[in-house]
C-alpha cells in the first residue's frame, strides 16, 4: 500500500555521499505534509533519523540530512560509514481516503 | 527512558483474530499529547501504518484496514492493544508499536522492538 516510492537499493564506498529519493504526489508530500526518515538495522526497532523534513533528533550525526522538493524528498548520507548499512524509509501523511500516515517502499543502503 | 514492548501470540490461525499488546515503561501513557500507534512490516516488504489511539480513546485507523481493526487503551496497566480480525496469510508481519504527537505532520519518535506474527492455515 506504499504511496511513497523509493529506490530499492543504493550503494557507495566508505566516505562517499549517497542520496535516497522519496517520490510522492499532490495528496501527501505535494500537499505540504512533512517528511520524516527512519533507519532500520537488522533485528532492531526503526529509529527516527530525520524529522520535519530536515531536523535531526538528538544523537543523530550531522552526516545525515534531509531536503524536500515539490512532490518528493531526499535523504543524503555524507561520509558513508560501514555502520550506515541499513534499510531507510521515508514517511509522511496522505490526505486521501480520510487521511492516513504513509511510508515509503524502503531503500537498502549497502556500503561497498 | 521511554520504552515500548510488544507482546502476544506468534502464531494465529487463518480467519481468527490477532491480538497484540504494547506495554509502555519509563513514562506514562497519559502524559503529554501523544498518540500510540501500530505499524506492521510483512516479510520482505515495507512499513504500513495500522492505526493510532489517544489514551482517552479516539482511535483512527488506516482506511484499508479499518473494517477489521479495534484498538484500545488500559491506562491502569500503561498498555494499549490491537485486534485485527479475520486474518489471512497476507497479515503475516512484524508488528511494531510506536508513539507520535498528534497531527498530520508528526513522526513516530519511539518504537518497540517488534514482534513477528505468523498466520497459518
**Cα B11 from Cα B16, distance rounded (Å):** 11
C-alpha cell at B12: 494465529
- For B24-33, the pLDDT digits (tens) are 999 999 987 9
C-alpha cell at A18: 549517497
Instruction: Specify the DSSP class assigned to residue A71.
Output: S
Percent of chain A with pLDDT strictly greater than 70:
99
By DSSP bridging, strand B110-111 and strand B48-54 are unpaired
- For A49-63, the pLDDT digits (tens) are 999 999 999 999 999
Residue given cell 501470540 in the structure block: B9
Q: Do B63 and A2 touch (CB under 8 A)?
A: no
C-alpha cell at B75: 491506562
Count the Cβ atoms, other than its own, within 10 Å of residue B99.
23
**Cα A17 from Cα A11, distance rounded (Å):** 9
Among A residues 62-81, those touching chain B with beta carbons less than 8 Å apart? none
- For B61-98, the pLDDT digits (tens) are 999 999 999 999 999 999 999 999 999 999 999 999 99
From chain B, the residues in CB contact with A45 under 8 A are 96, 111-114
Mean pLDDT over all residues of chain B?
95
C-alpha cell at A57: 533528533
Q: How far is A4 from chain B (nearest CA, A)?
A: 10
Instruction: Specify the DSSP class assigned to residue B27.
Output: S
Grade residue A100 by pLDDT with cuts at 50, 70 and 90.
Answer: very high
Indicate which of B94, B104, B110, B111 best probes the interface with A, i.e. most A CBs within 10 Å of its own CB: B104
**Cα B69 from Cα B59, distance rounded (Å):** 10
Q: Which residues have a Cβ under 8 Å from the Cβ of B59 and sit 6 or more positions away?
A: B51, B52, B53, B71, B72
C-alpha cell at B41: 512490516
**Cα B69 from Cα B37, distance rounded (Å):** 12
Of A57, A100, A105, the CB nearest to B49: A100
DSSP notation for B89-105: GGG-EEEEEEEE-SSTT
From chain A, the residues in CB contact with B39 under 8 A are 103
Chain B contact for A8 (CB, 8 A cutoff): no
What is the predicted pLDDT for the residue at A3? 85
Q: Do B107 and A89 touch (CB under 8 A)?
A: no
What is the predicted pLDDT for the residue at A1? 59
Q: How far is A3 from chain B (nearest CA, A)?
A: 10
**CA nearest B103 in A: which residue?**
A93
| Mean pLDDT computed over A61-89 | 96
Amino acid at each position: 500500500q506504499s504511496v511513497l516510492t523509493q529506490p530499492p537499493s543504493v550503494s557507495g564506498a566508505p566516505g562517499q555521499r549517497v542520496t535516497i529519493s522519496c517520490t510522492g504526489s499532490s495528496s501527501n508530500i505535494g500537499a505540504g505534509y512533512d517528511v520524516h526518515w527512519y533507519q532500520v538495522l537488522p533485528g532492531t526497532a526503526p529509529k527516527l533519523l530525520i524529522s520535519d523534513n530536515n531536523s535531526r533528533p538528538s544523537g543523530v550525526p550531522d552526516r545525515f540530512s534531509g531536503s524536500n522538493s515539490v512532490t518528493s524528498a531526499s535523504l543524503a548520507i555524507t561520509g558513508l560509514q560501514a555502520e550506515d548499512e541499513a534499510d531507510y524509509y521515508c514517511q509522511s501523511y496522505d490526505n486521501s481516503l480520510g487521511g492516513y500516515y504513509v511510508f515509503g517502499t524502503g531503500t537498502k543502503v549497502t556500503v561497498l | 527512558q521511554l520504552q515500548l514492548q510488544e507482546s502476544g501470540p506468534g502464531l494465529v490461525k487463518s480467519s481468527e483474530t490477532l491480538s497484540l499488546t504494547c506495554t509502555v515503561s519509563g513514562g506514562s501513557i497519559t502524559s503529554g499529547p501523544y498518540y500510540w500507534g501500530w505499524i506492521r512490516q510483512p516479510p520482505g516488504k515495507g512499513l504500513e501504518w495500522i492505526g493510532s489511539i489517544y489514551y482517552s480513546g479516539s482511535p483512527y485507523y488506516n482506511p484499508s484496514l479499518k473494517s477489521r481493526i479495534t484498538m484500545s487503551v488500559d491506562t491502569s496497566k500503561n498498555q494499549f492493544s490491537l485486534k485485527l480480525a479475520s486474518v489471512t496469510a497476507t497479515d503475516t508481519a512484524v508488528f511494531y508499536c510506536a508513539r507520535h504527537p498528534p497531527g498530520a505532520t508528526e513522526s513516530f519518535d519511539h518504537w518497540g522492538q517488534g514482534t513477528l506474527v505468523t498466520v497459518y492455515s
